[in-house]
Structure 1
Amino acid sequence: MSTTASLEDRSAQLVLDAAHEAVRARRAAEVAEMRVVAHWCVMHGEPRSERDPMTSPGGDGTPAVREYALPELAMARETHTLTTRALAADTLDLQHRLPRVWAVVEAGDCEPWVARKVASLSRALPAATVGIVDRAVSAAIAGHAPATVLEIATAKVIEADPEAHAMRREAEKHRRYVALSRTDEFGLRTVIARIHAGDAVWIDAMVDRVADILAVEHGHDHNRDELRARAFGWLARPAELIKLLIDHHQGDDDTDTDTEEPEQPAWAPDHLPDTAKRLSRLSPRQLAAMRVKAQVFVHLSQDALTGQTGIARVEGIGPMLVASLADLLGHADVRITPVIDLHGKTAVDRYEHPALLKDQVWLLTGGDVFPFAPRTARRDGVDFDHTTPFDPAGPAGQTGPHNSGPLRRRHHRWKTHGGFRCRPAGPGRHLWQTPHGDTYLVDHHGTTRLTEPESRIHLTAPPGLDAYTPRFELRWGG
C-alpha cells in the first residue's frame, strides 16, 4: 500500500504525527550519513607514503585525512568532492570541537544543517576557545528558530576571540569582487558586487540618471526596476553612454562652449579638459574600440536556425532561444568561426594540444570529465590531460580526441597521484576506476556508477574498442 493511500485513512492528528515522524527519520538519516563520512576519515587518518598528502577539512583540534581519500568518498555519495569535503569538515568539527551541539544533533532534536552552519561559523576559532560557542548554541539549538541560533553563534564567535574578529573585519575590507550568478531559466543573471561604499553610491546615482533618460522613451512600457536594470547594461558601452548623457544634458547656464572656454568646476578632476579634447579627436572606429572585447561560444544546429523556436547553447550562460541571441550579441562585432567536425580523427605527434584540438575535445566532452564534476569550468581553466599517459617513445598520434579529457588542476593531480585510473571509452566518454575498484562512466549524460558486469565489459574491452552495454546503447541510440 502506498504512503498516500495509507494517509488517506488517517485522522488529522495521525497525519500530523506522521509529519513529525518523517522529520525525525530524515534527521536520523542525515546523522547516519555524517557518521559514515566521519568513519571514512578515521579509516584514512594516516598517510600511506611520504607522497600521500594529508589535509585538514575541519578546524583546530580535528584530525587530518588523506586528501586522495575524499574524492573516492564523494563518488560513492554521488556528489562533487568539495560538497563531501564540506560535510566532512562540519562533522569533524561537531564531533571534536562542538560535542554538546553534536549530542543534540545525534538525538534528532535539531536540524543538522543548522548545526553544520554553526560549525562553519566557528571554524576559525582555536580549540581552546570554541567551547564558548558550544555551550551557548547547545542550550538554544533545540528550541529556537535557525536565525536566532545563528545570531547566538555569531555573537559567541566574536566573544570567544575578539582580536581575531577585529583582524577578520580588517581583512574583509580588502575582499572586494564583482561576480555573476548562474543564468536562470529566463536568460537573466544577477551581478553581485562588493565595492567601496562611495563607489556604490556613485554607480547607483549613474544608474538612476540613465534610467531617468530611458524613462522618457520607454517609461510607459517598463517599470522602474526594469529601467534601472537596462541602465546598468549601458555602463558596459562607454561610447554610447557618453552620447546618451550628452544628448540629455541640461547645463546650469547658457555658456556658448564654441566661443568661450567655460570655467572648470572645482570638483572636476584636473585631466578633464585634456580628456575632453582627446575624446573629440577620436574617430568613430576608435570610439567603437573602447568597448570591451569578449569571446563567447554559441552552439547552433541547422534545425535551430531554420525552426521557429530554435534553441542555442551559450557556453557559460546556458540554453536560450535563437531569437534572444540579438540581446546578447546585438551590441558586438561578431566573428564567426568554422564549424568543427567532431567526427574527424584529428591527432598530433606531440605532447601539447593545439588550439583547434582543444576546441574539438571540449565540444566532445562538454567540460571537466572527472566524475560528478560540475560543468562550470571554462576551457581556459582546465588542463587537457592525456587519458592514457603520453609516452615520448610511444606510437604516433597519441594526442587527440581519442586520448584527451579536460580536467581542473585539482582533478588532474588526483588522477596522476591519487590512484584513480581513467581510460577512453569512446568519443566524449571516459571510464574511471577508484582505488577500491568502483567504476564510473562519464559521458554527455553525466556520471553513472556501473554495475559489476558492466564494469567487467568496459575494463576488459581491447584498447580502441568502444564498449556499449545495453542501457548505454539506449542512451546513444544503439
Structure 2
Amino acid sequence: MAPTVDAGAAELLAAEEAGVRHRRQLEVDALLRLLAWCDLHSLDPQSQPGAVPVRFGGDRLVRLGGEGTPQTSELCMAEFAVASNAGWIATSHRAAAALDLRHRLPRLWERVQRLDVEVWVARRITDLSRNLTRAAVEIVDISLAAACDLTPGKLIELAEARIIEADPQAHRDRIAAEEARITLRLPNAGALEFTTSVEELAQALADHHVPDDEDDVATMDQLRARAVELLADPHAAVRFLEGLREPETPPAPTTTRAPRRATVYVHIDAAVLAGLATGVARVEDLGPMLLEQIAALVRHRSIDLHPVIDLNSGTAVDAYEHPTACKERTQLRTGGDVFPHSASRTRRLDHDHVTPYDKDGPPGQTGDLNDAPPLTRRHHRAKTHLPYRTRQLGLGAYRWQTPHGLLRVVTRYGTTVVEPLRTTDGTLVGEVYPARYDVRYDVGA
C-alpha cells in the first residue's frame, strides 16, 4: 500500500528503498522471461518438416549475442516484441544483452539477479564487450565481480578500461571509426544542405579516386571526412567540382549538377483552414516543423507540385499490382511500417493483398481497401512464414492477431491492445476497440 501524505520520513524512505528493489526485480524478471523465450525457440527452424528455405525468406537460427551464446530463431522475436509493446530491433538488442549476461558474463549476471547492479548498467557493459572473444570477456567479468560497490558510472568506466586492455586493436579501430564520423549541430535547413553537399562531394571523390597497389579502398565515412576537410577551403572545393586538378585529387567531371528537388506533402486539418490552429508540418527523417521552417528548407530547391491527395477516398483496379497512387495514399495514411509497435517510417515497404488475389475472382480486388499492411521486409517475412492473421478494418487501419493470440490494432494513432468482450459466463461475443479512433471498424469474422 502506498504511504499516505502524513507518513513519517522513515516510512517514506523505507517505501522508496523497497520500490527500488521492486523495480529492479521486475526488470530482472523481464530478462528471465526473454531468456526463456529464446530457449523455447532454439531449435533450428530449417530442421522442421516443410520448412521454407532461407533463400525464400524462411526462418533460421541467428546469433544475437557475442561469441559463445546460443542461437535463436530469427522470426520469433517479432511476437515477443508485440507482447513487450516494443519494436523488433529493440527486443533483439535486449535478448542479445540477456544472452551475453547468462553465457559470457555469468558473475555480473549473478549480481544483477541479486539486484546489486541495475539492468541498464549491465546492458551497457554487454554492448561494450560483445565483440570480445569468450576468453577475453571472462577477464572483464572477473574484474567486475570484484568491484562490488562501485557506482554505475564507475562500474561502466572500469568495464571500458578492462575491455580496452583485453583487445587494444579493437579500441584503435573504434577510435578511427569515430574520427571518420561527422557530428554537427545546425538548423534543419542548413544541416540538410550541408549534409547533401558532403554526400555529393564524397561521392565525387569516390568516383575519381584511383587507389594504387598499397592504397586501401576508402570507406564512405572516410570519404565524407575528406569532403568536410575539402569544404573547409571553399575555393578548393569549387575548383574540384568544376574539374580543375588538385595535387591529390584526379579531375572531376565537368557536367552541371542537377538542381536538388523536393516533394512536399502538406496535411491540412480543418482547424488550420478555419484559422483555429497553427499549421505544423512533418518532414520525413527530420520531424515536425513550423511552416516558416519548411520555407527555409526548400528555399534552394526545385519543387515538384502534385494534385491534392484525398486520404479519405480510395480506388480499386482489376490488376494484381497495387498502383503507385494507392501505395502513396497508404504510406501517407500510415506513416510507415504497420507491424504492431514498429517505429519504422521508411518508404521501402512491401505491399500485398489482405484478401488473397484470385485471378479468376471478381473485378476490383486491388486497391486502398485491400492493401495489406505495408511492412518492412523482416516484418513481412514474419507475417508470411508464421501464423499471423491480419484484417484491414478501414483506410489505414489494421487488426493483427499473433501466432499465440495477442490482438492489436494499428492505425496512424499507433498500436492499441484489443480487449476481448465476453459475457458473464465467459463466452467471447466480440472485441472492444478504442472509441477515440475516427476509423469505422468492421469487427466481423
TM range (shorter): 0.7 to 0.9
From 129, 145, 165, the equivalent of 1:159 is 165
Quote the residue 1:412 is aligned against.
Answer: 380
Match of 1:421 in 2: 389
Query: 1:337 aligned to 2:306?
Result: yes
Contact 2:353 2:370 in 1 (8 A): yes
CA shift, 1:74, in A, is: 0.8
2:130 aligned residue? 123
Question: In the aligned structure 1, how far is the partner of 2:295 from the partner of 2:169?
Answer: 53
What is the CA–CA distance in structure 2 between the aligned matches of 1:176 and 1:133, rounded to whole Å? Answer: 28
The equivalences for 1:64-463 within 5 A come to: 64-140=71-147, 142-162=148-168, 165=171, 172=177, 176=181, 199-200=227-228, 203=231, 290-301=258-269, 303-305=271-273, 307=275, 309-316=277-284, 317-374=286-343, 376-379=344-347, 381-404=348-371, 405-453=373-421
Amino acid paired to 1:346: T
CA displacement 1:227-279 (0-9 Å, x = unmatched): xxxxxxxx9xx9xxx9xxxxxxxxxxxxxxxxxxxxx999898979x98xx9x
Cα distance in 1 for partners of 2:278, 2:301 equals 21
Name the SS of the counterpart of 1:395 in structure 2. coil
- Which of 435, 438, 442 matches 1:476? 438
CA displacement at 1:191 relative to structure 2: 8.4
Matched AA of 1:319: P
Give a deviation string over 1:110-129, Cα, whole Å, max 9, x none: 22111111111111122233
Aligned position for 1:40:
37
Deviation at 1:200, TM superposition (A): 4.3
- Tell me if the contact between 1:304 and 1:322 (Cα under 8 Å) persists in the aligned partners: no
Question: Would the aligned equivalents of 1:296 and 1:314 in 2 still touch at CA under 8 Å?
Answer: no
Offset, 1:440: 1.2
2 CA distance for matches of 1:175 and 1:399? 47
Number of residue-to-residue matches in the alignment: 393
The SS at the match of 1:110 is: coil
What is the CA distance between 1:382 and its match in structure 2? Answer: 1.2
Q: Deviations over 1:122-177 (max 9, x none)?
A: 1112223320111112222x42233332232223223334455556667x389757
Aligned-residue CA RMSD (Å)? 4.0
Output the CA distance in 2 between the equivalents of 1:432 and 1:265: 59
Matched with 2:7 is 9
SS at match of 2:161: helix
In the TM superposition, residue 204 of structure 1 has moved relative to its aligned partner by: 5.6
Structure with higher RCO (Cα < 8 A, 6+ apart): 2
Counterpart residue type for residue 149 of structure 2:
G
SS in 1 for 2:337: coil
Worse overlay, 323-332 or 53-62: 323-332
Q: Give TM-score, length-normalised by structure 1.
A: 0.71
Q: What does the per-residue CA deviation read over 1:38-71, in whole Å, with 9 as the maximum and x for residues that have no partner?
A: 1111112113524441222111211222222211
8 Å CA contact 2:271–2:277 kept in 1: the answer is no
How far is 1:408 from its partner? 0.7
Same amino acid, percent of matched pairs: 36
CA distance 1:201–1:474, change in 2 (3 Å): closer
